[in-house]
Amino acid sequence: MGTAPRPTACCYPKMPNNTMNKITILFILCGLLAFSPIAAQQKYGRENRPKNPPPQVVDQKEIRTTALYIEATSAFITENYKKAEKLYVKVLEQNPHDHAAMYQLARIYLYQEQDTQALNYALKAHKEEKKNPWYLQLLSEIYQKERNYDEAAKTVEKLVKTAPKDPDYRWQLANLYLFAERYHKALKEFHKMEEILGVNEEISTRKIKIYEHLHKKEKVLNELKKLASAHPQEVRYLAMLAEKLMHYEREEEAFVYYQKIAQLNPSDPYIHITLAEYYRKTGHQEKAFQELKEGFTNNHLDIDTKIQILMAYYSVSEIYENLNPQAYQLLQILTEQHPESPKTWSMYGDFLYRDQRYQEAAQAYQKVLVFDKSKYLVWESLMHALLAINDYQQLLNTTNEAIELFPYQPLPLLFAGFSHIHQKSYDKAIAVLESGLKLVIDNPSLKSHFYSSLGDAYHAIKETDKAFQAYDKSLLLDPENSYVLNNYSYYLSLEKRELEKAEIMAQKAVEIDPENPSNLDTYGWVLFQQEKYEEAQKYIFQALKKSTTPDPDVLEHYGDVMDRLGEKSSAKMYWQKAIDAGNDKEELMHKLKSHE
């Protein structure tokens, strides 16, 4: 069986403490006045007074008890519970049957988490005055606190008897039956409440949850039908019924109600979304998509619903490629219906970026910023797109604006560093990267990227030691960064420094990303510098094979390896290929001429 529906504990309204006590005091004072000589005079009037009135007999003990009660209640109101407790106890010493004092003591003990004493005094108060609803309410509250739902229900049953047509009492009782898992009794109470209040959503919802828990599908459907019938103009109830029928795989019956909804409210855009789901579940994919398009072209369908639908497409269209054209059709409609909404272009940009259409994605994100510059994540997405298309000038412009708007975000400074490095403004790159580092908190991966870029910038200005220190810090934070492993090992090999360390790093880079030709070439070149020519030839040849376009450096390296292996003609051929691919270094020209 499923999890039982959980009712709200203590649903009945509680009178605020101060209000209740003030009322209590008011009744006491009124009671005193009612028995006072002044009250008697007012009751009879001067003209009706007996000529020889009998002497007034005043019960001094009762006066003292009443005064104690008033003082105790005053202490209770001011939340001086210790004083109030002592005074109420004195009241009971004066009058052991004072149920009001018992009730107040029960409340004090309940507030102080002394549940046993609270229950003891609540029972005593109830014994003295069995039909008092306040005493019954308090008893029920204590039982519920102790999770004694059976006794709490018995107590509220007595309350119901005092006012059989009070729906609040019956609501309490039904909820307690639910807590006690007495579902049929709970249903009985909800039925009686319907007799008093009529069919309404709150009661029907509770009954439906019980029927679902009991696996009574027909009862669930009947309850929904009754609710829809009682409120024929409330389309939402018909939709709830249709949805439940769909859930029970009774699609044909559900479709009847969907048609009713469309007849009752033909302009409702949401019916198209609902019908789209119906057609999707019944295998009519074309009809489902047509309904979605109908919904999307409706101006009354809110943009957030459209975005939710597109998010679903975003999740599945990458797996099911046939859905991607549909997604772009819906996106096109979205741009036509909501051309000035930043949500439109943000969603469009996300699809384009995912599909590696980076130029178009950048344009979409730029449109978002026309309407709303406040969302940092959009700036981040735009920077990623611009980096992907190597538009470093536009990336630099974007980072400068983002840095002004979000001065405590480190990533724009990292992108600015990239841009300066590619524009060979190395000093500027170092300055922004050092500034960005100070902003990185609890993000080792991001900090590693900053150190990596600092290493590149320092190496470009031939500050080799600073570059290598930066690379070491980067790898300490992220030992699996294949980009740093590759660059660091390659630069060490060029310097012929720490070649064993370079070999370990280059090998690790290949293990992490074995399809990357740059990693393969670097590993081969480190081996070459260690005079391991046969191994070097193997990896540099793989780098050549995996390169999508001829890389002049890799071609030169392969020529060098072949030369050391004694393959002079092959070496000359690859050096010439390197020159043809754009390698015009004097050293290469000299090598080629020396072998003629």
What is the pLDDT averaged over residues 254-270?
88
Tokens of 403: 């840095």
Q: What is the largest CA-CA distance in the chain?
A: 152
Phi, psi of 438 (to 5 degrees): -70, -20
Dihedral-angle region of residue 55 (phi above 0 means left; psi in -120 to 50 means alpha; beta otherwise): beta
DSSP 442: S
Spatial separation of the C-alpha atoms in residues 146 and 35, rounded to whole Å: 42
pLDDT tens digits along 71-85: 999 999 999 999 999
For the chain, percent of residues with pLDDT exceeding 70: 90
Tokens of 479: 């030992």
Asked which of 23-37, 291-305, 532-546 is least confident by mean pLDDT, the reply is 23-37
Asked which of 184-193, 278-287, 476-485, 535-544 is least confident by mean pLDDT, the reply is 278-287
pLDDT tens digits along 195-252: 999 999 999 999 999 999 999 999 999 999 999 999 988 889 999 999 999 999 999 9
Q: What is the pTM of this model?
A: 0.69
Spatial separation of the C-alpha atoms in residues 34 and 28, rounded to whole Å: 10
Q: According to the model, what pLDDT value does residue 463 have? A: 96
Tokens of 338: 């909501």
What is the pLDDT averaged over residues 525-554?
94
Q: Tokens 């597109």 — which residue?
A: 310
- Which pLDDT band holds residue 124 (cuts at 50, 70, 90)? very high
CB 373 within 8 A of CB 382: no
Q: Which residues contact 295 (CB under 8 A, 6 or more apart)?
A: 269, 270, 272, 273, 276, 301, 306
What is the pLDDT averaged over residues 167-180?
93
Spatial separation of the C-alpha atoms in residues 465 and 469, rounded to whole Å: 6
Tokens of 84: 């109030």
What is the pLDDT averaged over residues 279-302?
92
Spatial separation of the C-alpha atoms in residues 541 and 560, rounded to whole Å: 12
Asked which of 37-51, 333-347, 411-425 is least confident by mean pLDDT, the reply is 37-51
Query: Does residue 285 carry a pLDDT above 60?
Result: yes
DSSP 233: T
Spatial separation of the C-alpha atoms in residues 415 and 423, rounded to whole Å: 12
What single letter denotes the amino acid at residue 233?
Q
Query: Does residue 165 carry a pLDDT above 60?
Result: yes
Q: According to the model, what pLDDT value does residue 233 have? A: 84
| Average model confidence (pLDDT) across the chain | 88
Spatial separation of the C-alpha atoms in residues 154 and 315, rounded to whole Å: 53
Query: Does residue 492 carry a pLDDT above 50?
Result: yes
DSSP 148-216: -HHHHHHHHHHHHHH-TT-HHHHHHHHHHHHHTT-HHHHHHHHHHHHHHH-S-HHHHHHHHHHHHHTT-
Spatial separation of the C-alpha atoms in residues 268 and 178, rounded to whole Å: 38
pLDDT tens digits along 356-405: 999 999 999 999 999 999 999 999 999 999 999 999 999 999 999 999 99
- Which pLDDT band holds residue 592 (cuts at 50, 70, 90)? confident
Q: According to the model, what pLDDT value does residue 121 have? A: 95
Query: Does residue 59 carry a pLDDT above 80?
Result: no
